[in-house]
Every structure is written in structure tokens, then in C-alpha cells.
Amino acid sequence: MATETTTRARLRWGLLDAVVVVFALIPVLWIASLSFKTPATLTDGKFIPREWTLENYRTIFATDQFVRALVNSIGIALIATLIAVVLGAMAAYAIARLDFPGKKLLVGVSLLIAMFPQVSLVSPLFEIERQVGLFDTWPGLILPHITFALPLAIYTLSAFFKQIPWDLEKAAKMDGATQGQAFRRVIAPLAAPGLFTTAILVFIFCWNDFLFAITLTSTERARTVPVALSFFTGASQFEDPTGAICAAAVVITVPIILFVLFFQRRIVSGLTSGAVKG
Amino acid sequence: MSERSEQTAVRGDGRHAAVPTQRSRPRRAPLSENKKSERRLGWLLCAPAALVMLAVTAYPIIYSVWLSLQRFDLRFPDERAFVGLENYVTVLSNEFWWTAFGVTALITVVTVAVELALGMGLALIMHRTLVGRGIVRTAALIPYGIVTVVAAFSWRYAWTPGTGYLANLFSDGAPLTERASSLAIIMLAEIWKTTPFMALLLMAGLALVPEDLLKAASTDGATSWQRFTKVMLPVMKPAILVALLFRTLDAFRVFDNIFVLTAGGNETSSVSMLAYNNLIRGLNLGIGSTMSVLIFIAVAIIAFVFVKLFGTAAPGSSDDERR
Amino acid sequence: MAEIVLDKVSKRFPDGTDAVRDVDLEIADGEFVILVGPSGCGKSTTLNMIAGLEDISSGELRIGGQRVNDKAPRDRDIAMVFQSYALYPNMTVRENMAFPLRLQKLDRETINSKVEEAAKVLELTPLLDRKPANLSGGQRQRVAMGRAIVRQPKAFLMDEPLSNLDAKLRVQMRTVVSRLQKQLGTTTVYVTHDQTEAMTLGDRVVIMRGGQVQQVGPPQELYDHPRNLFVAGFIGSPSMNFLHAAVEEGKLRTALGDVPVGDRLRRELEAADAPRELILGVRPEHFEDAELVDAETRQRGLEFEAPVEIVESMGSDKYVYLTVEGERASAAELEELAADAGAADLTGGGANLVTRLSAESSVTEGENRRVWFNLEKIHLFDPANGRNLTLHEGRAAGALAS
């Protein structure tokens, strides 16, 4: 009898799980489906393609427009992530481990920035960047990306750093290690997962940005994929760009899906540890 | 007392003649070397992050206040002039602004409310499910990770007559060309994208509810609904407030979805969309900056109300001191 | 191997608080010394100063005759066992234990043989290739010890090493620590807040309160001859009973009856600045069921009658809780001790006595019972400064001494 109720409970949970999974995946599967459709079947409204083709992918990788945007997206996101994680780690270490006046202020300011309406910066940054020559360049996008990624990085990293048992540092010193050895051989290996998780979160954030990318760029020099997507016109004027847009969308979605598949647990802990402290 | 004992300690042992000179230094400066270097290191480590954040936010927002007080249209750069509050009058008496403001407020309220309910359900499922916990969590993370523009395109094509599976399902009209249905789709897209984030924050709150507390409540005779409202919700309150605050401010910035789904047509512009249009399409820096400042003020008011209403529950105050 | 000398060592934090004040302590080579006291008494700070993990604000620390105030921990050649064990989670047990040796740049073979040897002593050999996460609490504790002994340091410092273990394991590990220390003969400083550990482990015990040493001595001496109220209340489990006592006409009026006073104490109480109110202290085992006391012994004590609240039979003897009328003793020290035990707000009416009576006693709950207590073993304290008035040249002599 007990087994019967648990079977029923499992079934109920299974059903709920299925609803969640379907709800989460349908838009993704739909755009993937569109990207594999031939131009002839594109407007048939069927969820599963009747004829499969890779033509759309061939098209986008043949256009300079998309390849340039992809390079921009990857380059800008990687550089911004690297800088944000390094700066964030420095600040987070100070917040988690050191006692100094102004610490609370820094935490408060970074929180404010996390909630800052980015659109409020669009007009002044547009003007400032045009004046100093950063408009439509990589650094012109990297800077605002770093700024808005930093609060995220500081929060998650300081939560991670607070969890590191710092007794270990003392223990290493007692065992005869210098400050440098204690950091290299004991603390760094423990901090690595936190840094890695933060890097993924920051990368997702930069990868996702649309507002800055569309206002602070004007040409292929620095335009990222999300922006390029919205300007896609297809190979010729008369061609429907839908298939190409979908193929490009799938291409920039794949890395995110891989991150999520491989690092699900870490992403969850990273996202929540920074926001809610126990 | 301590001062005196230190002196006797020195006087009492004449062998360490070198010690008093060493020790007189910290007496003049109240902080020990160690402490001072800790402070210096703290500032040094935080400085780069703080400088970048301030340079890219504080200075531009001040600059944008300055710009908002000028007539400044890039198409007519010669007519640039200081006009005081004229831009504010223009914007605040403009019906497009108020329509956009209404749309933004509507989207914010509806999406945050729905997300809270759905997110709570999703959090409960992720936290308590007996089967496939890993799969559910992974699936729920996907909307969070997907580029908003990609998701927006997916929704757009889903509702495009002919192409879309959803459009064919519901009606023969074109939902993205009518105001009400467009807004509904925009909200659907927003909710799909951000419910997982809400759920994750709430799940972290759920994890803080001690199992024993729930067991105690059920032995005390509480029904599962009572356990939820009387035991879980109060413990989760800080997590809920943090999630609400973050999501409200985030929802107020809605831009990507509208840009792709309707481009602001049929009076579906949000304030962000309107500011963008004035700036990039209209190249009117004065009006664009005025809107930037107004949006900043609106967000500041929302944040202030949250913090005031919920007092110490606001994040940042939970920052625990060392020791 | 070396002796450790603390010469007027003080620690002042930047916010002005004195964590440790003028601690003088000489720890002989091979001695096992316990630092004990309630939380915040400065015992851990003292240990950290010996370790070199905290700066010494003033005073001098010598290890093996050498001033080490300004030496980094790694130049002091001492090992430490932490309360949290502080095992490196990314290393196996073997690597954890080898870590200090590898930092000394010893060759692989020496390291291996030393680690194996230490592992054998602590029965860790089968666990050598596991990660700390896969060990039980007791095993982790032993690895932490292993890492300390493996390099044969001048001294061991232990910071509440057993407090994260469950009660049974703690008793077991206590003997392990004790045996190990005797076997190795290494100078050991051990910090604990548990008075049982303090009593059972050390050659000498240092009791601290508010950053100052209260009393130093072998455990039995601290138990029998506490210098002040704080030491008396801290050492012993169940702890000493304290009752209010009023000085009236050469006698002490207490809830247990009028206590007669010997000549020596009388002289002291007749002094102009002598306190009018005292605190009477009686250890639980100095009570006895009046029925079981023979006539000769009876003369050395006093009898009273009180309602029996609870009887706990331990087999070997009985803990009997009595309710007595009258005021509860009050002093800053007692409040601090109660707060440390977490019972500061448990104030019933009247006073409760914990007594330890013979197992043969036929005492039952709810009855009124005549109970005797030994006047030669009682202590009297000045509530103002906590001083033990019955102490004469370091020995407690009860109320009757002449």
C-alpha cells in the first residue's frame, strides 16, 4: 500500500516535471525546428520540419555579416568576462576577508548598479563614447558589460570566498608555508570552482546583452550577434531571412545550452548564493 | 588601565630596552601597522572595480542630467542651447511618454505577479520533486541562459500567421498586429524568460526552511496549505523580497522582447523603447537624456519604496560582518 | 622540544578591547598545559599568539629560550590542531600529512616513511588514500593530529580539537590525545572550554577570564583550592552550589542554617572593611544523607532539612536536587558563568542545591529529607571581588579553621 502511494506521488511529480520541461524547451525546439526547414516548408506552421536541410546554416556562415558578429560576440564576451572576474575577485576577496571602512558602501553601490536602469545610460554613453572615440568599438561595449557584470561577480564570488574555510590558510602557515605557498597550494585550488562558476554567469550576461550592443554600435566593427540578428535581411532582398535568423539564433544558443547541461549544479549555486545569504 | 599595564610591563623588565621605542609608534597612531595595511589592501583591491563601476554609471548619469537641460538634436547641432526644464515639460506633457509609461507599468506588475506565483510553484517542484530533479533544474535554467533576442524571435515566429504553430492554433488574425494580444505575447515572452531566475532565488529561500520545522508543524496539526503559508512563507520572506525587488526593477527595463516582437508598434513601446527611439532613430540627445533621467528617477522611487516597506529585509543589509 | 614562556603577554585589538592582559606563564619542556575558560576569555587569542597567527601587542614570547615575537609561524617550528581540523579538502589523507614535510623539502622516501609511521600510531593506515570528505568526524580528527605529529615539532598547539566530536567519541579521543602526548613527550598547549577535558588531560590547568589568568595549577589543586569564585564555579561538574550568607554576630546566616566560624575567619571578618555579605560555596559531593553519617563525622558538619525535588540515580551515587528558601547568591562572576552555560535566564524562585549522595540513600522525590554537609570543605567568597576567604597560603581550610 505504501508503495502504491509513492508510485502515485512519483507519477504526479513526473507529470509536473514534464510540464516544466516542455514549457522550458518548446521555444528553443521551435526555433531549432525552423532553422532546419527548407524555404518551401518554412511557412507550413508545423512544429516538426517535414524536410530537413542545413542550407540555412551554410547561408549564415557564408555571410560576412554573421561571422563578423559571431567573432565580435565571442571576443567581447570573453574579454569582458575575464576582466570582470579578475576585478570582481579582487573586490570580493577584500569584502570576504578584510576589514576596512567603506566596505559596506562598496557592497551597497554594487547592489545599486545591479538594479540600475541600463537605458538611463544609453543617451549619455552614446554621446560620451562618440566624443572619446569609443563608439562602435570593442572597448566601447566591453566597458559597460564589465560594469554591469561586476555586481554579479562581486556577489557570487564573495559568497564563494566566505565559504572557503580560511582556517586552512592558518593551518598551511602552521605547517610551514609562506603566504604565497598557502595561497597557491591550498586556497587557489579551493577558489577555482567559484571563479569558474562566476565566469560562466558573467559570460551568459555579456552574451545576452542587447540594449548596449544596439545603441553603442553602428557597423559590423563591433556589432554582436543578437543585434546582427535583428538587422538580418537575407542574402538577397527578396529572400525571407527567417531561416537564416533561426540558424544564427541556434548557433548562439548552443554554447549556453552546453554550459547549462554541464554546469547546472554550479550555475544554480552561483546564482542563489550571491542573492540570498543563509 | 591597559596603558598603565603596558608601561609597567616595560619598566618591569629592563632587559628589553629596545622594546619601548618600538611600541611608542602604535601609541601615537591608534591603528597597528597590521590593521593599517589591511585597510590599505582592502581599498587597493576594491579600487579598480569601484572606479570602473562609477566611471560607467555615476559620471554618465550626471552628464545625462546636464544633457537633459539642453536643446540638443544631432540632426540640427547648431541649435544646441540651454533650455532649462523645457525638455521635461515636453516629455511629461507628451501622451506617447505616458502611454509608454503605462505599458511599462502594466508589463511590470503583471509579469512580476505571475512570475511570483509560477516561480513559487517551480521552486517547490525543483526543491521537492521525487523524480528527475536534475532534469527539471537543467530544463528550468535554459530560459535563463538563452539570449533574450533569440527567445523573442522564437515567440515572434510562433505567432506569425502561416509560419507559427501557435498562431494557427488560436485565430486567423495576426496577434502581433493588435495591441492587446501583442502586449499579452510580450508578457508571455518575459515570463517565460525570467520565471526560472525567480524560481532559483525562491528555491534558495526554500532551502532555508528547516525540515524539522515542517515536521513540527504537521505534528501540530497544520494542513499542507497552512504549512506553506504559516511556516514556509514567513521563513522565506527575505528571499521573496529580494527576488521581487530584483525582478521588479528588471521588468521595468523591458526592451529586447518589445524590440523584436513589435518594435514598439501599436502603442506597445516601453519607456526604454521610447528612449531608444528618440536617441537612435530621432537622434535627439536632449529628449533622450530627459527620458533617461526620468526612468532613473522612477527606478529609484521603486527601489526606495521597496526598501522602505520592507526595511531590513533589503539586500545589502544582510551583509554580515567578519567575526 | 622546548619550553614556552609567556612574559606579560598582552593583546589589544584596534578597537581598543583588551583580549589578553599581562599573561605570565612558564610551560616546561614536555608539559601538557590546558588553557580553559568561557568563550571570549582570551584563551584562543593566547594560543594564536603562541602560534604566530596573531601579533603580540606587548610582552615577550620565548620558545626554547629564544624570543619569537616577530617570527612567522613557519619559523617557530610548532604544529597546530584546529577545531575545524582544517584538512585540505583537495588532498588525500596521505597528502595532507605529507604537506608540512613537503614544504620542508624532504626527499620522497623520508616523507613516505614518516607519514606511514604517524599513520600507524593513529591507526590511519587504511585511510591514507581517501579524501577528507569521505572520513568520519573521528577519523578527520585523527588526520589533523597526524599532520601535527608527523614533523616532530617543538610543541603542539591544540585549539578545542575535540569539541566537534560527539560525546562518546570525545571521551575516547581524550585518552588517545593523552596517550599520544605522553608517548611523544612534546610540549603541548591545549585550549578548551570544557572543564572535564581540562580536569582529565593536563598536567597543569590555566583558567582565564576576561583576558586575565585567574589561577594556574594541577587540576586537583584548582578543584580543592580555588582562589576565587570564578575558578570555584568553573571547575567541577555538576558545579559548586552557591548560597547567600549574611555575617551576623560572628556567625553566617544561610539558607542551610547558621554556619559557625573559626577563629581565623572571624578575625578576617572583624576587620573594618570586611564584607557583611558573603557567598557560601559547597560542592555536591560534600553533602550526605544525614541518616548515613556517623556520629563522629556529623560533628564536622551541619544538618538541614529540605524538600527533595528530583532524584537522579547514577548507580554509583545519586544526584539529589533540593529546594531551599532564601536568596540566591549573586555576583558578576556567577552571572558570567551562568551566561556561558546558557542558563542565565533560568531563574526559579528560591535556590536549588545539587547534592551528590551515596547510592545507599533511600531518598525519594517529594519528601522532606535531612541532609548533612561538611563544614571543613566549604568555601566562602567575597561577592565584591570574588576572593576565596577560606584560602590560607593557597590551601582551602573550610569555615572552622582556627
pLDDT, tens digit (0-9, with 9 covering 90-100), for C281-302? 999 999 999 999 998 889 889 9
User: Phi-psi bin for B185: left (phi > 0), alpha (psi -120 to 50), beta?
Assistant: alpha
Question: CA of A103, closest CA in chain C: separation in Å?
Answer: 17
Q: Write the pLDDT tens digit of every residue in B188-197.
A: 999 999 998 8
pLDDT confidence of residue C338: 81
Q: What HEC string does chain A produce?
A: CHHHHHHHHHHHHHHHHHHHHHHHHHHHHHHHHHHCECCCCCCCCCCCCCCECCHHHHHHHHCHHHHHHHHHHHHHHHHHHHHHHHHHHHHHHHHHHCCCCCHHHHHHHHHHHHCCCCHHHHHHHHHHHHHHCCCCCHHHHHHHHHHHHHHHHHHHHHHHHHHCCCHHHHHHHHCCCCHHHHHHHHHHHHHHHHHHHHHHHHHHHHHHCCHHHHHCCCCCCCCCHHHHHHHCCCCCCCCCCHHHHHHHHHHHHHHHHHHHHHHHHHHHHHHHHHHCCC
Residues C157 and C237 grouped into a single domain = no
Cα nearest neighbour of B26 on chain C = C57
What are the chain C neighbours of A176 within 8 Å (beta carbons)?
Answer: 74, 100, 103-104, 151
C185 residue type, one letter: G
Residues A194 and A247 grouped into a single domain = yes
Is B9–C10 a contact, with Cβ atoms under 8 angstroms apart? yes
Cα nearest neighbour of C149 on chain A = A175
Residues A120 and A151 grouped into a single domain = yes
Closest among A56, A72, A69 to A234, alpha carbons compared: A56
Looking at C204, C229, C254, the residue that finishes a domain is C229
Residues C216 and C237 grouped into a single domain = no
* C62 CB within 8 Å of a chain B CB: no
Q: How far is CA A133 from the centre of its chain?
A: 27
Cα nearest neighbour of A165 on chain C = C86
Of chain C residues 146-165, which have a CB less than 8 A from chain A?
A: 147, 151, 157
* Angle, CA of C155, C161 and C162, to the nearest 5°: 140
Give the CATH number of the domain where residue A161 resides: 1.10.3720.10
CA dist C178 and C182 (Å) reads: 6
* A215 CB within 8 Å of a chain B CB: yes
Residues A212 and A90 grouped into a single domain = yes
Q: Write the pLDDT tens digit of every residue in A254-264.
A: 988 888 888 88
Residues C369 and C249 grouped into a single domain = yes
Number of domains in chain C: 2
Is A175–C103 a contact, with Cβ atoms under 8 angstroms apart? yes
User: What is the residue whose three cell numbers read 500567421?
Assistant: B161
Compute the mean pLDDT over every residue in chain A, rounded to the nearest whole number.
85
- Considering only CA atoms, give the Rg of chain B: 28
What are the chain B neighbours of C21 within 8 Å (beta carbons)?
Answer: 2, 5
Closest among B288, B300, B289, B255 to B273, alpha carbons compared: B255
Pick the CATH number of B95-313 from 1.10.20.10, 3.20.20.70, 1.10.3720.10, 3.40.50.1820: 1.10.3720.10
**Run of H or E residues at C266:** helix C263-270
Q: Among A22-31, B233-242, C235-244, which stretch is predicted with the lowest mean pLDDT?
A: B233-242
Tell whether A58 is covered by a domain: no
Question: CA of A249, closest CA in chain B: separation in Å?
Answer: 5
Closest among C165, C239, C216 to C46, alpha carbons compared: C216
Q: What is the DSSP track for B25-87?
A: HHHHSSS-HHHHHHHHHHHHHHHHHHHHHHHHHHHHHHHHHHHHTEE-BTTSGGG-EE-TTHH
pLDDT confidence of residue B109: 94
Residues A191 and A156 grouped into a single domain = yes
Is B147–A252 a contact, with Cβ atoms under 8 angstroms apart? yes
* A172 CB within 8 Å of a chain C CB: yes
Q: Is residue C304's pLDDT more than 60?
A: yes
- Distant-in-sequence, close-in-space partners of A5: CB < 8 Å, separation ≥ 6: none
Q: Is residue A238's pLDDT more than 70?
A: no
Residues A34 and A84 grouped into a single domain = no
Tell whether C402 is covered by a domain: no
Domain span at A110: 63-275
Q: Among B179-183, C19-23, C341-345, which stretch is predicted with the lowest mean pLDDT?
A: C341-345
Contact predicate C10/C57, CB 8 Å = yes
Closest among C306, C331, C341 to C320, alpha carbons compared: C306
User: With 0-12 CB in 10 A as exposed, 13-18 as middle and 19+ as buried, what is B86?
Assistant: middle
Q: Write the pLDDT tens digit of every residue in B18-51.
A: 333 333 333 333 455 566 778 888 898 899 999 9
Residues A169 and A101 grouped into a single domain = yes
* Angle, CA of C80, C85 and C91, to the nearest 5°: 100
Residues A94 and A162 grouped into a single domain = yes
pTM of model > 0.90: no
Looking at C195, C229, C263, the residue that finishes a domain is C229
Size of interface A-C (CB pairs under 8 A): 56
- Assign C50 to helix, strand or coil: helix
Residues C165 and C239 grouped into a single domain = no
What are the chain A neighbours of C90 within 8 Å (beta carbons)?
Answer: 186, 189-190
pLDDT confidence of residue B29: 38
Contact predicate B127/B207, CB 8 Å = yes
Closest among A62, A167, A76, B175 to C82, alpha carbons compared: A167
- CB atoms near residue C360 (< 10 Å): 10
CA dist B261 and B154 (Å) reads: 10
pLDDT confidence of residue B231: 85
Can you tell me the ipTM of this complex? 0.86
Residues C211 and C306 grouped into a single domain = no
Looking at C198, C229, C260, the residue that finishes a domain is C229
Q: Write the pLDDT tens digit of every residue in C202-216.
A: 999 999 999 999 999
Residues C277 and C384 grouped into a single domain = yes
Compute the mean pLDDT over every residue in chain B, rounded to the nearest whole number.
79
Integer CA distances (angstroms), A68 to A208, A211, A235, in order: 17, 19, 15
pLDDT confidence of residue A111: 79
Q: Is residue A277's pLDDT more than 80?
A: no
What are the chain A neighbours of C146 within 8 Å (beta carbons)?
Answer: none
- Distant-in-sequence, close-in-space partners of B49: CB < 8 Å, separation ≥ 6: A87, A88, A90, A91, A106, A110, A150, A154
Give the CATH number of the domain where residue C156 resides: 3.40.50.300
Contact predicate C34/C196, CB 8 Å = no
Number of domains in chain A: 2
Rounded to a whole number of angstroms, the distance between the first and last alpha carbons of chain B is 26
| Average pLDDT, integer, range B236-257 | 86
Q: How confident is the model at residue B9 (pLDDT cuts 50, 70, 90)?
A: very low
User: What is the residue whose three cell numbers read 617557530?
Assistant: C76
User: What is the residue whose three cell numbers read 515570463?
Assistant: B191
User: What is the residue whose three cell numbers read 611523544?
Assistant: C184
pLDDT confidence of residue B192: 93
Residues A49 and A76 grouped into a single domain = no
Closest among A112, A159, A109, A105 to A276, alpha carbons compared: A159
* C57 CB within 8 Å of a chain B CB: yes
Q: Which residues are C43's β-sheet partners?
A: none
Angle between helix A103-114 and A138-163 (nearest 10): 130
Mutation pick from A115, A129, A269 vs chain B, by most beta carbons of B within 10 Å, is A115
C385 residue type, one letter: N
pLDDT confidence of residue C23: 94
- Distant-in-sequence, close-in-space partners of A188: CB < 8 Å, separation ≥ 6: none
Tell whether A187 is covered by a domain: yes
C-alpha cell at A233: 535581411
Give the CATH number of the domain where residue C349 resides: 2.40.50.140
pLDDT confidence of residue C148: 92
Q: Please state the domain extents for chain B.
A: 95-313
Residues A67 and A85 grouped into a single domain = yes
C-alpha cell at A135: 563608439
Residues C190 and C274 grouped into a single domain = no
* B30 CB within 8 Å of a chain C CB: yes
Q: How far is CA A215 from the centre of its chain?
A: 20
Strand C78-81 versus strand C155-159 pairing type: parallel
Closest among C230, C202, C217, C262 to C337, alpha carbons compared: C230
Residues C51 and C96 grouped into a single domain = yes
Question: CA of A270, closest CA in chain C: separation in Å?
Answer: 20
Is A122–B292 a contact, with Cβ atoms under 8 angstroms apart? yes
The rounded percent of chain C whose pLDDT value lies above 90 is 60
CA dist A73 and B280 (Å) reads: 21
Tell whether C93 is covered by a domain: yes
Tell whether A219 is covered by a domain: yes
User: What is the residue whose three cell numbers read 555579416?
Assistant: A65
Of chain B residues 188-207, which have a CB less than 8 A from chain A?
A: 192, 196-197, 200-201, 203-205, 207
Contact predicate C209/C230, CB 8 Å = yes
* A211 CB within 8 Å of a chain C CB: no
- CB atoms near residue C283 (< 10 Å): 23
- Considering only CA atoms, give the Rg of chain A: 23
Residues A40 and A74 grouped into a single domain = no
Q: Among A163-172, A261-270, C147-156, which stretch is predicted with the lowest mean pLDDT?
A: A261-270
- Torsions phi, psi of C300, nearest 5? -80, 0
Sign of CA dihedral A87, A147, B56, B109: negative
Residues A156 and A180 grouped into a single domain = yes
Residues C86 and C213 grouped into a single domain = yes
Cα nearest neighbour of A205 on chain B = B145
CA dist C70 and C78 (Å) reads: 15
C-alpha cell at A127: 554621446
Closest among C322, C301, C300 to C311, alpha carbons compared: C322
CA dist B310 and C98 (Å) reads: 53
Q: Is residue C104's pLDDT more than 80?
A: yes
Contact predicate C381/C228, CB 8 Å = yes
Mutation pick from A100, A164, A169, A175 vs chain C, by most beta carbons of C within 10 Å, is A175
Tell whether C401 is covered by a domain: no
Q: List, as own/partner pairs, every contact residues B171-175 make where C-beta atoms lie below 8 angstroms and the sequence separation is at least 24, other chains included.
A: none
| Average pLDDT, integer, range B218-235 | 85
Residues C198 and C155 grouped into a single domain = yes
Domain span at C73: 4-229
Tell whether A268 is covered by a domain: yes
Q: How confident is the model at residue A48 (pLDDT cuts 50, 70, 90)?
A: confident
CA dist C35 and C189 (Å) reads: 7
Integer CA distances (angstroms), C263 to A78, C269, C374, in order: 88, 10, 18
What are the chain C neighbours of B40 within 8 Å (beta carbons)?
Answer: none
